[in-house]
Structure 1
């Protein structure tokens, strides 16, 4: 059984492994398997990367990302940031960029609008992360799917069986309208994230309720 001290050590090692120089300005604390990250990085993309790195560590039950973004160099005008964000959005989502509105306020980007599938919503936010001057992203893009719930449920279960790090036998999927409910047990935070990600990728999903519990005991 991993202790909080073990998890802290492993998270620190993972941050060094995945983020290299950014790790020196970060601090890690762990209480009851919940990891809190603090310190600072020089871009919003780095902030997201350190959070993802911590989530992948075995034994982690949750991550609180309190890392501050301290931008290097002179601050950029919001208008310049917005133009770069719009260009990145068109590049990533040429067919649906016109349905998304970008608002920038002191480096904080807000995305609004409507798309049909969650991967479009995710890509829109991801496109903003590496734009110089962005300090954070609030994704308010709404999903308006047009798929039958039975088809959604079937496709998600099939995806679970295809994904190597998701144990489909211990996860129950229920679809009501555009809402998918995941219930059951997984063996790590990373498996829980993978299962939720797979559910979001299915066409027709507008909301995912994650009721999965994490059992970190050794698999027989």
Structure 2
């Protein structure tokens, strides 16, 4: 006679906690992803993880809560995105500046212009700053995307900032074909495995990457390689 061993729901959950997708890579359950994201938030010293809630559905992570600075909000997003298995991210984190970190809009604007003038990434007087209720809007035209990203990065760490609106544009100074060829070459150098099935399309200063990767971290690697 053949004996049939019955398992409890918890045993089955443990047994099948990891499954393989069509690419042959291990996928995490939503419960495992939630645990890993929570652990990553706790591991990041710039984040007060007790203020941030984590929910996961079908690999999409939602962060919710209230933090005391815009930089902490961004750090939480970055921490969640680097967890293996995260397919997407939704953010419902509010920035509420308290106490000594509060600043007037005029003071934030002055500080923003000052740090931009000291930045190695941005040419003098190229990026313009406007501030309303703690929201900083950056505008202007730069030559390279690293200048745009550098400007946004230095602003997010200022006290009193609750958000950054990026309206910086990039000058179109080279042919689309040259840009496409350079990006495809960069993908082969920096992300050969992850970028092997990525299609590159260039229109003016807009670059569109199309394809499939296994996680948000691989997506970031491909995006970084193309920049």
TM norm structure 2: 0.82
Q: Verify the 8 A CA contact 1:111 1:137 in the aligned structure 2.
A: yes
1:210 paired residue number: none
2:186 and 2:97 map into 1 onto residues whose CA distance is 39
2:97 paired residue number: 71
| 1:19 to 1:68, Cα distance in 2 relative to 1, 3 A | farther
1:170 paired residue number: 197
> Over alpha carbons, which structure has the higher Rg?
2
2:104 and 2:134 map into 1 onto residues whose CA distance is 8
Higher RCO (C-alpha 8 Å, min separation 6)? 1
2:4 paired residue number: none
- Aligned counterpart for 2:129 among listed residues 102, 121, 125: 102
Gaps of 5+ in 2: 1-18, 20-27
Matches within 5 A, 1:107-186: 107-164=134-191, 167-186=194-213
After superposition, the CA RMSD in angstroms is 1.8
**Cα distance, 1:104 vs. partner?**
0.6
**Cα distance, 1:4 vs. partner?**
0.9
Aligned residue-pair number: 200
- SS of corresponding position for 1:185: coil
Gaps of 5+ in 1: 202-220
1:32 aligns to 2:87 (yes or no): no
TM norm structure 1: 0.84
1:59 paired residue number: 85
**Cα distance, 1:126 vs. partner?**
0.7
